[in-house]
Structure 1
């Protein structure tokens, strides 16, 4: 459930650059400090300075400390203010930590002990705190985002209040919704909804943290240049903790190397990120547009129970109709080549859910019964149909037809097989599959039912 759906307000949030969060799960983005440097949103123009001022205060205390121990007065003072809980209302992260966990005492102490060594090595640049996920165990970009959100919480609240007033998100306009301290509450999670400008957000890495930091090393010329050849060759064999240890001890605690890394970091520019590049968020927004378009995916049979294969064919034909006649092909072709097949699978899944529930069937995605995961399994008891979906750009498209779908059917002990080929512009491959299919039919072979879906670019039907 997107916030815009909950309020039934259409697209005003996007039109003024406000992130439209999914309310019933965490959104896999984080507040990026480099984007805060570039922000043009009034409430956040002082946020970057606010963050660095805080870290400068920590650095001063650690500089005065004589030992990295809670018994030391200055170290303890730093520890007392280095506390960051998860700011739940912004709906960001992966939901894997307990609410409000953020930085616990143990992690805070570990970070400050590392920071103490870096400061004592002569580094007083507050930006090294922004690079914590590179070298500090148990700190990924989601925890860093929690830290930043805590520090700029007054700015987030001010921004939320202004947007709420601008769009009329008030208790007077929404008397049936729950508000607290003048702010709308999340109907699923209960806490106040805090809004953010899309321009300050960026993606979380697929690994969900920077513990797998091969890509950081590959992309960061400054750090890579500091690693000797032996380390570079062994790097991929090291555990994540070993990699962070190396960066912490050999680079960030070396004042000259640390200064070079910070200087390179200061000069980096990070382009704005489109949240719809993240597949789950893209699908949430896509589904919202499909529903608003009036396209109906739902058929219910009152007088009889439809069998699994007939249901499968109807769902797939609804999807085929959307792709070929409702410009669904634009959605598929506009996605990056690595995401297209996953998007196709997810849209079929989403389009089938309501249908399946209405007709007392079961839908499983990537169900694995021992021969690998089949894309879809639609069933009612022992009435089972398996569906394999491939794009024509997939090099394994013939293997899917020849072998995969039949192996999945054997594992499920069913003869009901459907093979879907989505053509994204590979006519030679399409012809090869159809020729094979027709030959198999002529020879009386047991074959899956084949559905071809044309997802190639199409000319407008309008006359200019």
Structure 2
């Protein structure tokens, strides 16, 4: 069963105050798919992080000094370098891909491999601390989330100082939250039993979408110096290599070549990266939008709801009525319009499912999202035993909106053995299509046919009452 996300702002009942302060409103009972980006950290305007980038480089410089002094893998200096390179993960920032709440960190075997390779690189003449910032380019099993954990561990004092300042500004302390445990002015996350730490949104960036996908090609394509070195050395052969071969090649022919390594790090030092909009992550966007939907009072009626058993069709319509009211009368349209166009339809589908789950659970109704009984996944299925209703959702921007209305939903209904069909058409700014589907629906009714019920939701920008 999917766990409903709990935001910091929900936990402390802060409304939008975190957003106003530029604090990332993390989900505290699971991880959010973002990481601390060093290039963003370098440009941070947050006072507590003004020296964070230098702290990171100083930390790695000390390891470089130890490896430079080491004569072989196993002497006192080498062992001290390995001891320093120890990162178990910082669970309190709630970033990464962990579903258990426990970050993997580096671990003994991976730490030993990184230090061993760093020793080889240093002995070839490269002593820049940024080698460790780019370790994901030449080391297997090191991706953005592990690098983020590494950076978070190093700058933990800065993160804690930032957290304390925000707590003081928002009066998040024992006297105002007596049921929450605090240690050294920092709340303890009851879901993970660790410090509840904050980060400014400005230092975050996206994680690769596929967990097993190495981000190496994108990093190289965006960094001109690295791209030029790779093209000069490998050319077209690069495309034929698998990820492991690419990383090994970079290690052997780029990082262990002092001249080429220096060029790459020079380019990396000059590189800049724009701020990232956390709403670009679909899962976070949907959870955040649903949080705002609950705050709008859309579900207040459930406290006094009639618990009578109702059929799946009426339940589906009730779910849609709740969502439609939020979209059209509580600025839900603004949330939908703010989603990227490529992900907007999926965002609407997921928001509808989350909002429907609230109603269905209180009425002993089952709602499944993208339940697949044959011809692909239906968007929503509402059911009580054999009483089923299928719901297909299309935005007016979808070129297949008529196909969805005429054929797609019929296939889903046939697979489910039901005649209860509702086609949800969400208007996002295509008046010609809006008119066409309404006329098509009416024509089918006039001809005595039995089309799926056409349910329309207007998510276009609404005019304020004062301007009507």
The alignment's TM-score, normalised by the length of structure 2, stands at 0.91
Match of 1:295 in 2: 298
Asked if residue 442 in structure 1 is aligned to residue 422 in structure 2, the reply is no
Question: How big is the shift at 1:268?
Answer: 1.4
Asked if residue 373 in structure 1 is aligned to residue 374 in structure 2, the reply is no
Match of 2:20 in 1: 15
Question: How big is the shift at 1:387?
Answer: 0.9
Contact 1:365 1:374 in 2 (8 A): yes
Question: How big is the shift at 1:346?
Answer: 1.8
Contact 1:141 1:209 in 2 (8 A): no
Match of 1:336 in 2: 340
Asked if residue 28 in structure 1 is aligned to residue 29 in structure 2, the reply is no
How far does the alpha carbon of each residue in 1:43-96 deviate from its partner, in whole angstroms, 9 at most, with x for none?
2212111111111111122223333x3x33332221111101111111111115
Instruction: Find the partner of 1:386 among 386, 390, 393.
Output: 390
Match of 2:69 in 1: 64
Instruction: Find the partner of 2:123 among 120, 125, 137.
Output: 120
How far does the alpha carbon of each residue in 1:227-247 deviate from its partner, in whole angstroms, 9 at most, with x for none?
349966565554322332233
The alignment's TM-score, normalised by the length of structure 1, stands at 0.92
Question: How big is the shift at 1:369?
Answer: 1.5
Contact 1:319 1:351 in 2 (8 A): yes
Question: How big is the shift at 1:210?
Answer: 6.0
Q: Secondary structure at the match of 2:132?
A: helix
Q: How does 1:15-414 map to 2 (within 5 A)?
A: 15-67=20-72, 69=73, 71-96=74-99, 99=102, 101-208=104-211, 211-228=214-231, 233=236, 235=238, 238-296=241-299, 298=301, 302=306, 304-414=308-418
Q: Secondary structure at the match of 1:367?
A: coil
How far does the alpha carbon of each residue in 1:360-401 deviate from its partner, in whole angstroms, 9 at most, with x for none?
001111111122111111111111111111111112222212
Instruction: Find the partner of 2:428 among 403, 421, 424.
Output: 424
d(CA) in 1 for partners of 2:205, 2:69:
36
d(CA) in 2 for partners of 1:100, 1:396:
42
How far does the alpha carbon of each residue in 1:117-142 deviate from its partner, in whole angstroms, 9 at most, with x for none?
22222211111211122221111111
d(CA) in 2 for partners of 1:8, 1:26:
20
Match of 2:3 in 1: none
d(CA) in 2 for partners of 1:166, 1:332:
32
Contact 1:140 1:209 in 2 (8 A): no
Question: How big is the shift at 1:437?
Answer: 2.6
Q: Secondary structure at the match of 2:314?
A: helix
d(CA) in 2 for partners of 1:266, 1:303:
63
Question: How big is the shift at 1:322?
Answer: 2.2
Q: Secondary structure at the match of 1:462?
A: helix
d(CA) in 2 for partners of 1:60, 1:150:
20
How far does the alpha carbon of each residue in 1:403-440 deviate from its partner, in whole angstroms, 9 at most, with x for none?
22111112212111111111211122233333333333
d(CA) in 2 for partners of 1:266, 1:418:
55
How far does the alpha carbon of each residue in 1:23-52 deviate from its partner, in whole angstroms, 9 at most, with x for none?
111122211111221122222212111111
Q: Higher mean Cα deviation, 366-375 or 155-164?
A: 155-164
Gaps of 5+ in 2: 1-5
Q: Higher mean Cα deviation, 386-395 or 326-335?
A: 326-335
Instruction: Find the partner of 2:462 among 454, 458, 464.
Output: 458
RMSD: 2.4
Gaps of 5+ in 1: none
Contact 1:297 1:352 in 2 (8 A): no
Q: Secondary structure at the match of 2:422?
A: strand
Q: Higher mean Cα deviation, 317-326 or 96-105?
A: 96-105
Q: Higher mean Cα deviation, 297-306 or 339-348?
A: 297-306
How far does the alpha carbon of each residue in 1:338-367 deviate from its partner, in whole angstroms, 9 at most, with x for none?
121122112211211110011100111111
Q: Higher mean Cα deviation, 334-343 or 230-239?
A: 230-239
d(CA) in 2 for partners of 1:252, 1:208:
25
Contact 1:422 1:455 in 2 (8 A): yes
Give the number of equivalent residue pairs: 462
